[in-house]
Amino acid sequence: MNPIPLTQSLPSVSRIIAGCMGLGGGWNHDPVTPEHIAQAHNFVDVALENGMTLFDHADIYARGKAEHVFGQVLAERPAIREHLFLQSKCGIRMEGAERGRNVPKRYDFSKQWILHSVENSLSRLKTDYLDLLLLHRPDSLMEPEEIAEAFDQLKKAGKVRHFGVSNMSGHQIKYLQSFVDQPIVVNQIEMSLTRLDWLNDGVSFNHNQGHSVSFVPGTVEYCRSHNIQLQAWGCLSQGMFSGRDISDKDETTQATAHQVAEMAQEMDVSREAIILAWLMRHPAAIQPVVGTTNPQRIRACSGAEQITLSREQWYQLYVTARGERLP
Ligand SMILES: NC(=O)c1ccc[n+]([C@@H]2O[C@H](COP(=O)([O-])OP(=O)(O)OC[C@H]3O[C@@H](n4cnc5c(N)ncnc54)[C@H](OP(=O)(O)O)[C@@H]3O)[C@@H](O)[C@H]2O)c1
């Protein structure tokens, strides 16, 4: 396989990313237990054994508890830090009570919040630096000059090595990059057999099927032509095509699951391997961010690196998952 764009910044980074949103015991205010920490140890071990060296976090996952339990792993086994890459995100602030007032969920790319959030992530993760920091979701009130200052300060202090964004269109990245000196090297967006608008955007151009595509056209092309690594969140479609009960789902979902199972059997690999290999066959050299914390499923995902789907297999799955013929 060709090297992925991110290897220009992190030469030995893995193709598949271990998503950490499922660590820490959930999005509640319950305290972390020894079981949650044991789960994180096991998760890190299984991911590393299966070649996944990049771990995807966000300051908000499980309200900070995902980073916290991961930090406990690093505190107990500091020697593993140099064998892995840590990516976290900032910019989403949860609703709740602050200083006696109820505040809504909001986005915040202010310099003050970015710096504050990174300090908290470093402290929870028990590390001196993040390999990558991503802005989580576009803030309508962002002042790009402030982001530029925050990034420069974090880079100069050695607290963040590389920068990226998430859920941004090509236009938004271009605009942001025109103010920011630090290169934007990652865009993490939702891409999967259930989330297809990043492909439909291209094939439905100049056709009335295109009316229903909400994806901002040209985002994939912008990232590719600027060597920005595309990362796919939600890539397993929450297990919809790899064993979750889908008896209440529509015909297209059932047909896609059936086809994934058939291909897996033909190629003698797991269904997860087929689902991820489908994303990885795209020439943008996508990095799937897998969200499973189940050791067996993590192993099943790693099988994707051993196979390459043919053009025919790729289109067969795409068309089935689209639920309509190509134009
Ligand atoms: N940038 C963003 O805005 C953004 C948004 C969301 C997530 N993310 C990142 O992307 C990662 C993946 O996203 P995701 O978790 O939304 O999507 P995902 O990888 O498609 O789905 C993972 C979820 O599906 C469950 N699952 C997988 N296979 C299953 C099966 N066969 N049966 C039952 N359940 C199954 C997993 O549970 P088990 O753990 O039990 O396997 C887990 O809860 C996250 O960890 C996070 O790092 C980023």
Closest atom of ligand 1 to CA, residue 236 = 20
Pick the atom of ligand 1 nearest to 237's CA.
20
Ligand 1 midpoint to CA 129 (Å): 25
Count how many Cα atoms sit within 13 Å of the Cα of residue 306 in the half-sphere of its side chain: 14
Has residue 211 got a pLDDT over 90?
A: no
For the chain, give the mean pLDDT.
Answer: 96
| Helices vs strands, H then E, count in the chain | 11, 12
pLDDT digits (tens, 9 = 90+) for 230-285: 999 999 999 999 999 999 999 999 999 999 999 999 999 999 999 999 999 999 99
- Which protein residue has the closest C-alpha to ligand 1 atom 35? 239
Residue 316 has pLDDT above 70, yes or no: yes
What domains can be seen in the chain, in order of their start residue?
Answer: 11-190 (3.20.20.100)
Please tell me the distance between residue 11's alpha carbon and the centre of ligand 1 in angstroms: 26
Compute how many other C-beta atoms are within 10 angstroms of the C-beta atom of residue 96.
Answer: 12
Read off the amino acid at residue 76: E
Give the pTM. Answer: 0.97
Q: Which atom of ligand 1 is nearest to the CA of 272?
A: 28
Which residues sit with their C-beta closer than 6 Å to ligand 1?
Answer: 19-22, 56, 166-167, 188, 233-239, 242-244, 289-294, 297
Cα(290) to ligand 1 centroid in Å equals 6
129 is catalytic: no
Digit-coded pLDDT (tens) for 44-69: 999 999 999 999 999 999 999 999 99
Residue nearest to atom 47 of ligand 1 (CA): 19
Q: Which residue has the tokens 């079981």?
A: 35
The sign one gets for the Cα dihedral 1, 14, 19, 212 is negative
pLDDT in tens, 79-138: 999 999 999 999 999 998 888 899 999 999 999 999 999 999 999 999 999 999 999 999
The mean pLDDT of 197-221, rounded to a whole number, is 86
The pair of structure tokens assigned to 173 is 């990245």
Confidence of residue 1 (pLDDT cuts 50, 70, 90): low
